[in-house]
Chains A and B, each alone.
Chain A
Amino acid sequence: MTHRTDRGGRLRDLLARANPGPAIDQELAAHVEMRARQLMAEGMTEDDAWTEARRRFGDPGDVRVECEQSDRRWRRRLGRRELFRSVATDARLAVRAARHAPGPTVLAVVALALGTGVGAAILAVASGVLLRDLPYPDPAMLAGVHAADARDRSRPGLFSFREVEVLAGARTADVAGYSVVRPPLTGDGLEPSEITLARITDGFFRVLAAPPLIGRTPTTDETRAGLPVAVLSHALWTARFGADPAVPGRTVDVEGLEHTIIGVMPPRFAMPEVASMWRPLSPAEAQDDDRELHVVARIADGASFEAASAELDAAFAAFQSETAVPDDELRSVMVESARDALVRPVRGPLWLLVGAAALVLLVACVNVSNLLLARAEMRHDQVVLRRALGADGFRIVRAHLTESLLFALAGGALGLLLGRVTLPLLLRIVPEGTPRLAEVSFDARVGVAMTGVVLGTAILTGLVPAWRATRATTVTRSVVGRLSTSGSTRILHGFVTAQIAISTALAVGALLLGVTFTRLMTVDRGFRPTNTIVVPLALSEEGEELGVSAAYARILEEARALPGVDAAHLVYHAPDEGGGFRLRLLRPEGFVEDAVAEGSVVPVTPGYFDALGIGVVDGRGFLASDDPGPPVAVVSRSFARRLLPEPARAVGSRFVHHASLDGGAVEVAIVGVVDDIIPEPSEPPPPILYVPFGHMPFGYAELVVTTTAATASVLPALRARIWTVDPNVPLDAARTLEEAVARSVASPRFYMVMVVGFASLAVLLAAIGTYGVTAFVVAQRTHEAGIRAALGADSRRILTRFLGQGLRPALLGIAAGLGAAAALSRFLAGLLFDVAPLEPWVYAAVAGVLGLIALGAVAVPARRAAGRDPLTALRHE
């Protein structure tokens, strides 16, 4: 018996995969027919034969069902095995191709790894800080509540105690407030230290719904009465009390007042972020109208943020009209998710960094695409052959996607490793004060996101080569080979344009941030930060017993007597803190009737301006004779300009302020004008009225010590000397002005470092990409170059041609990148200082540098190709 196989069955097979029923029917029908024919051949009539054949076969229904079930199982198994086998084959081929050209492969994988790695690390930070739920029960219902100027809602503000009480009456939300201060912690044989104390109103712990780790939290009665009962943070408990479980019941002195410890919170409880102790707001603290309370709320069951917002705002508005708040001081209430409120300052910048990392990854992906496309181009004949042999388009696309998936997996795996290694380093340079850094880790969210990124990478890098491959026709390459190559050249050049465009945009951002940072570092702050120690002096009761002035005088003496100390002064506050005695409004009488202006009164000791290098521009500084003398003042330039009727004739004029200890009006004679100090470069210099320190004796001041020796060598001795005067003054907040200045630029430096890193990486990858594409394209044209050379074109003309062709897409990319940067740079505006988002020279510089890099990346392979011997070139194919 012979059987011819039936080629056309392929399609039917494919259809049968979906439904085996028709094929079985056919098979069974064939059986009955053949039996009938056999019977007819044996002499039966046609009718009888068919009847007999059907009788012998029996009921086909059951048979059919059994066969169908079997077939379905078989096809599923076959499909899986076939898929596995062919994917394995694809993978083997891909690995072989990769081993054939290890250099580009390694480069592409490393590029992907770098892209994924930085992406993963940044994403981990963004995820932990911005996305992870707050560590309290039912965190979605926690809200941050702010008061904002009714006309300008951009600056959320705080509440006074009375205002919090108004809000606490709401039904749609449980509301509590807290204010943060940094008092000294003493007693119990502890070295005095400064802690961060949160003074809470009733319901604080109820709103957060967080139980203490040990002990208890204050009761409503205790909180309402403002009793001195304290709850410790886990960190303070561990650091200062050796994690002693018997700590409840012990007492500590806070601001000289004895507090009973009643509980310890768990490690993750961080509201506010930096708090080391919580205690009820005391009745005295509750009485003033200072707006210093942050407000948290838990939205009631069944209520919404909108409902709570409406109710709170209405209650607040009613309170404001009752208390006759003037129109221009009206405020409204904003309710937002507590997490968003917490991370608001870093949200924008962090997403910006995630975006930058994504762009770097995109550039790396394009590099892989380049490589795959070039490789596919060289395999063009093979694909044509496979198609001719019946491989369908799907099969070929899959082969390409398998290859890119391998790249993505290798790059992704390496990248995740890299990310894990980078994350701790990254966390080290994240500016301190970034909220929720403790929550950052490589968690499941990052894992899922990065898996998505890897798969996305595979599709992104494999798609274009795969699409190209499906268009490979069965016509062999020798006929239309050139045609197809020029098509892929266009795509490759498109890739170059894209890469260069992205890198250009990133480079513009990097340069803008770099300029910002340099300007911040070199900006004249109006004072000399070098070799200067600032020691906050919060005198304890013991110190105050000496008499504030006497204690300060002795501390100054002790400090001045130390070897290595140049000068010692008292000031409130030191210039890095804004120089602000931001207590009271100044009322410049005789200037504009009833005008109220914000300004600061800063008491300083004589000689302070000289010691800190603050220039006296008119009149004089303070003299020792001013301390006991009549009220005099020295003003800053901004003060004179903004608050005096005749800025040019400040010296000799008089000014009335209300910043005295008893709140009464004080008239001062202005004896000098000094340069502005700039604590925060992005803000205008504060108007300052300096007064002699002796005129405002106060329980708190900062000791400013300038040294001739290194500050680090002086500080320990300085501490010891101060403790001989007041043993209970906490000195752990001592700082150098240089540190403080560095800290003030920590955020800009972080963003600059990150974006410069991203941009450099992107530019490097784009340069590699451009080099690779040019090398491939000129290699494809070696033949053409050979012909041209043989026809007499000199190598210079060939080189120019290659250069022109290679540079065009790069220049296009630079132009596109500059355009994109110009459009996007306004998102950076908030991070910039003293440089406009559209600063022309920045764009010009980036264009120039990128142009040179592109020229290099194009020229090297182009020269090599143009310089080849025409005969060798012609033999190339």
Chain B
Amino acid sequence: MSESQLRVLQGTLELLILKTLAWEPNHGFGILRHLETVTRERLIVEEGALYPALHRMRERGWIEGEWGKTENNRRALVYRLTPSGREELRRQQSEWSRMVDVMALALEPASP
């Protein structure tokens, strides 16, 4: 891992998946590639952790999966957001931005 690479923060993997699927339905590997691409390979997603997260999210009804074919004609389980998943994305996104603000406030050097 090079200096510029980061691991996914605890608890943010779901948000990243939701955001990715909001773009378009995708299979697990596709989601991973998308995250790697948009972060210019600076974010490291543990591949093994991705699937339990996906299945957990499906259990909660945020996403649903359907078997489809990739461009290489490979069968893969393609996930898409459900309306409740879209709702969850909004919620987690706003929570994340509030968290960023709060962290920024907390870490700011004490004002003179």
- Residues of A whose CB lies within 8 Å of any CB of B are 1-6, 9, 12-13, 23-24, 26-28, 30-31, 33-35, 37-38, 56-60, 62-63, 66-67, 70-71, 73-74, 77
Contact = CB atoms under 8 A, between A and B. Distances in A.
Given A3-B78, A33-B74, A12 B67 contact: yes
Interface stretch (B8-16, B19-27, B86-94, B103-111): B19-27
A35 B47 CA distance: 10
A57 B47 contact: yes
Contacts of B77: 23, 26-27, 30
A58 B33 contact: no
A467 B28 CA distance: 44
Interface string B65-76: 011111110111
B52 A1 contact: no
Given A26-B75, A56-B47, A31 B56 contact: no
Nearest to A62: B48
Given A1-B24, A63-B52, A6 B75 contact: yes
A2 B55 CA distance: 22
A66 B29 contact: no
Contact of B59 (A28, A33, A77): A77
Residue with the greatest number of chain B CB neighbours at <10 A, chosen from A26, A27, A56: A27
B78 to A, nearest CB: 5
A74 B55 CA distance: 9
B48 A27 contact: no
A5 B66 contact: yes
B71 A57 contact: no
Contacts of B24: 1
Contacts of A63: 48-49, 51-52
Nearest to B30: A1
B46 interface: yes
B47 A71 contact: no
Contact of B29 (A12, A13, A30): A30
Contacts of B28: 27, 30-31
A30 B75 contact: yes
Chain A interface SS verdict (over half): helix
A28 B70 contact: no
B58 interface: yes
**5 closest cross-chain pairs (CB), A and B:** A3-B68, A66-B52, A74-B59, A70-B55, A58-B48
Nearest to A77: B59
A58 B68 contact: no
B62 to A, nearest CB: 11
Contacts of A70: 52, 55-56, 58-59
Nearest to B26: A1
B29 to A, nearest CB: 4
A63 B49 CA distance: 7
A34 B74 contact: yes
A303 B48 CA distance: 70
Given A27-B76, A30-B75, A63-B52, A74 B29 contact: no
A23 B51 CA distance: 12
B33 A3 contact: no
Nearest to A60: B48
Given A63-B48, A67-B52, A71-B55, A1 B67 contact: no
A457 B9 CA distance: 60
Contacts of B49: 63
Contact of B51 (A5, A6, A28): A28
Contacts of A23: 77
A28 B69 CA distance: 15
Given A3-B70, A37-B72, 15 more contacts: A1-B30, A2-B71, A3-B76, A6-B69, A26-B75, A31-B32, A34-B27, A34-B70, A59-B48, A63-B51, A66-B51, A70-B55, A70-B59, A71-B55, A71-B59
18 contacts: A1-B24, A3-B70, A5-B67, A6-B68, A9-B67, A27-B28, A30-B28, A30-B29, A30-B74, A31-B47, A34-B27, A37-B72, A63-B51, A63-B52, A67-B51, A67-B52, A71-B58, A77-B59
Nearest to A73: B59
Contacts of A74: 55, 58-59
Contacts of B56: 70
Nearest to A4: B69
Nearest to A72: B59
Contacts of B54: 67
Contacts of A28: 51
A73 B58 CA distance: 10
B51 A58 contact: no
Contacts of B33: 38
A67 B57 CA distance: 11
